[in-house]
Each structure stands twice: as structure tokens, then as C-alpha cells.
A and B are shown apart, each in its own frame.
Chain A
């Protein structure tokens, strides 16, 4: 099975997921509703890679608007779901891939395929040219086979972009992968460790042992805020997705239903035929939490909880240099019904929600997840490189 929805250059060395625009190549964000859409410009992150000498090999498949577990690229012989970009990297088709992380899908995919993925600090990589769903938490990240190549690619795409209002004003970022980690402190969140199965726990244990062998202090403690972050991010993500996807109506671009007699039927039939049930559920839940009677207790409350989570995590980083957790509840997923998708993804977002909610960086490496303080990607890379050198 091909990893790509579109091949662009047979000699390319970079993959770009289908939620990022590449000029002249179809871009559908994995959705029928954008069928036939060809952008007139490329995403800033893609332009920066091309300016640095990289060539886009193709657009990799994604789940609709990046809302699902791993991209639902396919089921392998062992009945396990994989992410297309992560698999393309794992099988040396490309040197790296750009993926948009709005709810952890690329992180889960990287963990399953045994490659690295960094979701950087919010605002460090331009979102210009991203097919937006959840603007306040989604970031362009990098998938690559080694820690060093992940850091190198991130340093190419990171930096201020005047076209993007969410882009921070730092001109460039220097990601050090060789910080001295001896004596640094890493926290394992008990709630996330306990929520994983034995295979995922074993990966965290092995990673922690590799760090300890190199002088890192690893402690386990409770941090119940993870549950609050999970609920708050689901509410905010759904609300923002509801708003962003309202533009897809079959009028100016993308899919248009052939089944209509008037403008109302055109809207309803286009959107109903163009979106899968997971997307529809996200839109409807998002619309509900924004509605009168629910806004104050759900949407507004979640914006306040975001600040509470932010403060608690910042306090935690006063004592620890990084957080170590499973990236997902297991080491793989079997195929599942679209009817179960919403709650299944919600369950898995327990492991991934905090970085999306408060914009901190998260690195998946060796099948586990490291979270760091804002702009502290260097520490995450250095810890991961320490474990990588130990063979974990």
C-alpha cells in the first residue's frame, strides 16, 4: 500500500502530510470535502525546506483533518494501524516528514513505527499554509529516523514568519542535541503510566533505565491535571474545528454534491457526503459546547482550565527538566469502527493533550513521549539522544 495520496517528485527526500499545502499538488487533509482542491501557494514550512535544498517526494495520507488516532493509513499483516508519514520515514523512503499535530496523531504514529516526532513549542513553526482545524493548539512538527536528523529538520523550518499571526518573533532557533543531561530531573506521571498497558509501560521503564544509567534522576509522582487537560483540550479543539470547518460548503472549492435542487440541499448534502462520522461528531460536539447554556460551563471554563493547567505545568518545570510518559496506551492499535472513533481518540488524548492545550514541546522517541518547558526542545533532544545511544 502506498504512503502517498500524491507523488510530486520521484527524487524527493521529504514527505509532507496532506494537511499542509504544496503549490500545485492536491491538498485534501484526508477529506472528501476538499476533493479536487489545488492550492496556489505552499506552506511556509515547505518553502523553508525547499529553500534549504530538500525536495518534496509526495503528500502522505492522513486521517480526516488529522482528528483520528494515527492517520488510519492501513492495516498491516499483524492487523495494526500505522501512520503513513511515520512508516515512510521508518522504511527509509524519505529523510523526514512534516506532519501537523492537533491532537497527537503524529506522535502516536511515530511511537508505533519506532521513529522520532517533535511537536515544537507553539509559535515556533509557521502555520501559514496549514489546513486549519484547531488553531490554538495545532503545530507543524517533524518526523525523522534519528534524534539528530529530527532536530536538524526542525531548525530549518522554525523561525518567525510575518505572514502568520501566531508565529513568535524569534528569527531562528538553535536546537542543541548534546546538552549535559547528567543530574537533570525527569518526572514520570503516575496517572499516565498506570493508564498504559504492560508493553507501553515496558518502553517507559527501559527509557527511564537508560536515562538513569547516564546520571539522570527519574522520579514518579501523581499529576491529576492530565485529566483536566484532556477534557479541556477536547472541548477547545472541537469548538475550533467546528468553526474552521464551517467554510467547507461546496461553493468556492473542493467537493460539491451532485444531489441538490437548491442552495440548502447543496450545503447539507455536500457537508454530509464530504465528512466522515468522526469529523461530524467533532463539529457537532464543538457546536454544542459553544451553544447558549453550555458556553459558560464548557467552552469558557476550558479556557480558564487551560490557564490553571499552564500554571501547574510551569510550576512542575520549576522542579523537573522534562516529563516522561507513554505516547499511547499500548504499542499499537487494531482496526476499529468509525462509530467508535470519537471516544477512542478521546481516550488516547489523555497522553497527548497537555502539549496541544498549553503549547509546550513534546518529543516522541524510542516509543515514549518526553514533554518539556516552552522553548526547551534542546533538553528533550538531548535526553532522547542519551537513550538512543544506549540502544533504547
Chain B
């Protein structure tokens, strides 16, 4: 794991690490590269991926307009809101 690639992952995930934390992360990646080697030994040539072990169903609802929660209820958890909307920093300068 190069410093450049780690920076790319941090950017992609909207995260920042201190220099010490980046060293910890480098050590984790190094150790996991070794741990992953066990997978190389498994022959999966003709094996299909198994995303889910059990069958899944698509959860649908009736195509009927409804309002399970009020605007006030939904905004109750907002970190910042003004009037009847979520408030975020200006996106367009």
C-alpha cells in the first residue's frame, strides 16, 4: 500500500488520518496482504460467486401514495435545519 494509494482511499471515503494513524493503517494493509494469501490456495476455477447464502426477496409495497412520517418528524434528527428544510453549506459559489 503506497502513501499515494492510501491518500486515494481516504479521499474516496471522505476521511482523514494523522501521520501516526496512517502508519497504523499501512501496517494493517501489510498484515492483511499476508492473511489474504490463504485464499490463493483455494481452487475456485469453476466456482460461482455466492453473494447471499439464503434466497432473498425484493421488498415491494402497494403503489399507493402515503406519508408514513411527517416533515417535522423527519427533520427532528437533522443536525441543522431552517424552516422546513435540511441546512447544508452553499454548494454553488
The residues in A between 10 and 35 inclusive whose CB is less than 8 angstroms from any CB of B are none
The residues in A between 207 and 265 inclusive whose CB is less than 8 angstroms from any CB of B are 227-228, 230-232, 234-235, 242, 246, 249-256, 260-263
**For the complex, what is the distance from the CA of A304 to the CA of B77, rounded to whole Å?**
40
Set B39, B58, B73, B74: member contacting A165, Cβ < 8 A:
B58
Q: Which residues of B contact A168 (CB under 8 A)?
A: 54-55
Q: Which residues of A contact B74 (CB under 8 A)?
A: 40
Residue B38 at the chain A interface, CB threshold 8 Å: yes
Residue B51 at the chain A interface, CB threshold 8 Å: yes
Residue A307 at the chain B interface, CB threshold 8 Å: yes
**For the complex, what is the distance from the CA of A297 to the CA of B44, rounded to whole Å?**
11
Residue B88 at the chain A interface, CB threshold 8 Å: yes
User: Is A277's CB under 8 angstroms from B29's CB?
Assistant: no
* Interface residue count on the B side (C-beta < 8 Å): 52
Q: Which residues of A contact B89 (CB under 8 A)?
A: 260-263, 266
**For the complex, what is the distance from the CA of A227 to the CA of B31, rounded to whole Å?**
15
User: Is B38's CB under 8 angstroms from A256's CB?
Assistant: no
* Known A36-B77, A277-B21, A285-B32; contact A231-B39, beta-carbon cutoff 8 A: yes
Q: Which residues of B contact A277 (CB under 8 A)?
A: 21, 24
User: Is B53's CB under 8 angstroms from A271's CB?
Assistant: no
Q: Which residues of B contact A287 (CB under 8 A)?
A: 9, 12-13
* Interface residue count on the A side (C-beta < 8 Å): 70
A34 smallest CB distance to B (angstroms):
9
Q: Which residues of B contact A285 (CB under 8 A)?
A: 28-29, 32
Most interface-central of B6, B38, B78 (chain A CB within 10 A): B38
Residue B63 at the chain A interface, CB threshold 8 Å: no
User: Is B50's CB under 8 angstroms from A303's CB?
Assistant: yes
Q: Which residues of B contact A300 (CB under 8 A)?
A: 49
Residue A310 at the chain B interface, CB threshold 8 Å: yes
The residues in A between 323 and 362 inclusive whose CB is less than 8 angstroms from any CB of B are 339, 342-343, 346, 358-359
Chain B residue with the shortest CB-CB distance to A252: B86
A276 smallest CB distance to B (angstroms):
11
B77 smallest CB distance to A (angstroms):
4
* Known A37-B77, A231-B35, A232-B39; contact A280-B47, beta-carbon cutoff 8 A: no
User: Is A122's CB under 8 angstroms from B53's CB?
Assistant: yes
Interface residues of B (CB under 8 A from A): 1, 5-6, 9-10, 12-17, 21, 24-25, 28-29, 31-32, 35-36, 38-42, 44, 47-59, 69, 73-74, 76-80, 86, 88-91
